[in-house]
């Protein structure tokens, strides 16, 4: 069985990618890359009797019934090939929102129809604000993959939203002051497109012939494509 990192299926299905966060400022000094990122307002409020619901559209996750519906964002930052920078972040703006969050519903199959039912809260812990999910190739750029979780509940059950933060990537050696040779097109999924154009590389397709990478406690979808290039998933 082969595992290829060359083709990152962008089919990044369900990911709220960095096209929905805003790069406000960027800076490169010696061995440091620094970025200031803003989180957009992605919620609305629905009026209830004596209360308000905070509605995050398009973020519902049917696979996690009972969990709070909070947006999460995947951010891809181009870095030099095979580097492994130290990441630090600083929250510079946040606010408290008036309202209560919704929960992912419970789904049942009834007479060949999916029925959505109100669920109860099953999880009260939250992931940390920034998660480092590792490095990967996107087209011809080596990138670090970050998960941003800007929403949380405070001790008094109000919603806290991080509006703006800074992230600093510190490398083991100085970054070369490369010159832009051509107006190369980089993936729209990459946050720092200007820097990405300076470090475009030809990656090698990595394959793993063994099955050691498989976690047999998890479920997998096997994707295949015909000559028309269309990906299909079939239930057997």
> Mean pLDDT over residues 195-212, rounded?
75
pLDDT at 125 over 50: yes
Q: Which residues pair with 105 in a beta bridge?
A: none
pLDDT score for 84: 94
Local confidence band at 204 (pLDDT 50, 70, 90 cut-offs): low
Give the rounded percent of residues in the chain with a pLDDT score beyond 90.
Answer: 36
pLDDT score for 100: 81
Longest Cα pair distance anywhere in the chain, in angstroms? 63
Q: In this structure, what token pair is assigned to residue 16?
A: 């709220």
pLDDT score for 34: 98
Tens-digit pLDDT profile for residues 146-195: 999 999 888 777 889 999 999 999 999 998 776 665 567 889 999 999 99
pLDDT at 134 over 60: yes
Q: Which residue has the tokens 């800007």?
A: 150
pLDDT at 10 over 50: no
pLDDT at 88 over 60: yes
pLDDT score for 83: 93
pLDDT score for 224: 62
The three state secondary structure string of the chain is CCCCCCCCCCCCCCCCEHHHCEEEEEEEECCEEEEEEECCCCCEEEEECCEEEEECCCCCCCCCCCCECCCCEEEEEECCCCCCCEEEEEEEEEEEECCEECECCEEEEECCEEEEECCCCCCCCCCCCEEEEEEEEECCEEEEEEEECCEEECCCCCEEEEEEEEEEEECCCCCCCCCCCCCCCCCCCECCHHHHHHCCCCCCCCCCCCCCCCCCCCCCCCCEECCCCCEECCCC
Question: What phi and psi, each to the nearest 5 degrees, are found at residue 222?
Answer: -95, 120
If one counts every other C-beta atom within 10 angstroms of the C-beta of residue 151, the result is 24
pLDDT score for 32: 97
Alpha carbon 120 to its chain's center? 26
Give the rounded percent of residues in the chain with a pLDDT score beyond 70.
Answer: 75
> Mean pLDDT over residues 130-157, rounded?
90
Q: In this structure, what token pair is assigned to residue 197?
A: 């154009």
> Mean pLDDT over residues 62-74, rounded?
87
pLDDT score for 75: 95
Pick the CATH number of 18-206 from 3.40.50, 3.30.300, 2.60.40, 3.40.1130: 2.60.40
Name the more confident of 124 and 111: 111
Name the more confident of 23 and 126: 23
pLDDT score for 104: 86
The whole-model pTM stands at 0.74
> Mean pLDDT over residues 211-223, rounded?
74
Q: In angstroms, rounded to a whole number, what is the distance separating the alpha carbons of residues 72 and 58?
A: 11
If one counts every other C-beta atom within 10 angstroms of the C-beta of residue 162, the result is 21
pLDDT at 143 over 80: yes
Question: What phi and psi, each to the nearest 5 degrees, are found at residue 89?
Answer: -135, 160
């Amino acid at each position: 069985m082969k595992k290829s990192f060359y083709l990152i299926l962008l089919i990044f299905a369900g990911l709220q990618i960095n096209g929905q966060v805003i790069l406000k400022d960027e800076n490169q000094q010696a061995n440091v890359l620094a970025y200031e990122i803003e989180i957009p307002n992605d919620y609305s409020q629905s009026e209830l009797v004596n209360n308000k619901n905070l509605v995050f559209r398009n973020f519902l996750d049917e696979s996690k019934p009972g969990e709070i519906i909070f947006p999460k964002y995947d951010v891809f930052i181009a870095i030099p090939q095979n580097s492994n920078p130290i990441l630090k972040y600083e929250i510079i703006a946040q606010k408290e929102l008036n309202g209560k969050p919704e929960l992912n519903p419970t789904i049942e199959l009834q007479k060949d129809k999916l029925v959505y039912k109100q669920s109860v809260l099953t999880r009260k812990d939250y992931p940390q604000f920034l998660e480092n999910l590792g490095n990967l190739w996107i087209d011809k750029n080596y990138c670090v993959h970050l998960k941003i979780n800007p929403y949380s509940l405070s001790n008094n059950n109000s919603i806290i939203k991080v509006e703006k933060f800074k992230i600093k990537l510190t490398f083991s050696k100085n970054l070369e002051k490369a010159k832009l040779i051509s107006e190369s097109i980089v993936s729209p999924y990459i946050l720092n497109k200007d820097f990405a154009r300076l470090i475009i590389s030809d990656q090698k397709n990595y394959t793993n012939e063994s099955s050691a990478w498989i976690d047999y406690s998890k479920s997998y979808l096997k994707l295949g494509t015909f000559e028309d290039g269309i990906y299909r998933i079939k239930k057997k």
